[in-house]
Structure 1
């Protein structure tokens, strides 16, 4: 059964499709429902998928997580016990570890994860303290505006600012280089004119 679980998780997260394949998802849920051991195994398989350096895989894994989170107290307990890692892998709260490419899918993942955290907080926040703490951590420490459709974290804004700063520096360097080249050219032109003038005087 564990082998089949692994196959299903792999198939669901590597299809490249924007939506989960219903048949496989149904089979996965059925296996998970049969025992907490299988559910725990599925959880660890999904965390491994969330660690992949590919946003599409992470997004598919996140969708499976959403499905199981809504159906199982045990799964919620497992996820919330590892909530910081989950946020790092789906929201990108760690400045040192941005979400992997493709960028468009990473943005979609971030928005979906933030929406999910908000929904989970509203539905389960009172029952799961760590979930509530995670929500407030995003809101207060990471300055995530849950009403903002772009739902950009501080880390994301900082990366954007740093990117802009790098572009500005590159531009400034180009301007400096161009000015220097023009100065050198001006000197060359002046020297050439002087030489020509001297030649005419000799004539």
Structure 2
């Protein structure tokens, strides 16, 4: 599977609900909206390390979205800088955050270009994905300089017509002044940095 091509095709398909959130300058957000217990320059290397860990353990790094203990990562295959695996987890539905559904994602981590692709699927082995929302594909990636990393995120929900409610949900996510929860988890869990939101 060419994960990048699948996402790019979906991105350009009429009717698909596709949105890219504004790039997040991690260190600027830390400076503007957080008090840390010590000096920290968050690096691009750290940001990609977080993305790789989150891809393998979404219930740990996205506890506000993925039900605790629900994530299963199937074994990886590696070819040079590419790492492919499938993961299954119970996630909050995009359009109804009070409900969960089973989500199947075929993941590619492009360690060379620091891009992570997640291709949604309806079934894998003996597991079937929820039918309470359309399938979706996501890209998480890292850009910017080593000491000024940018966190990038885009999603394609495979709707037949653009769903304005979902556009509003994602737009609101992009307006949040704070870091996404997975970066906060990484700060505390992996870097041992305590923080307080301003």
Name the TM-score, length of structure 2 as normaliser: 0.24
Structure with the higher helix share, 1 or 2: 1
The structure whose Rg is larger is 1
Structure with the higher strand share, 1 or 2: 2
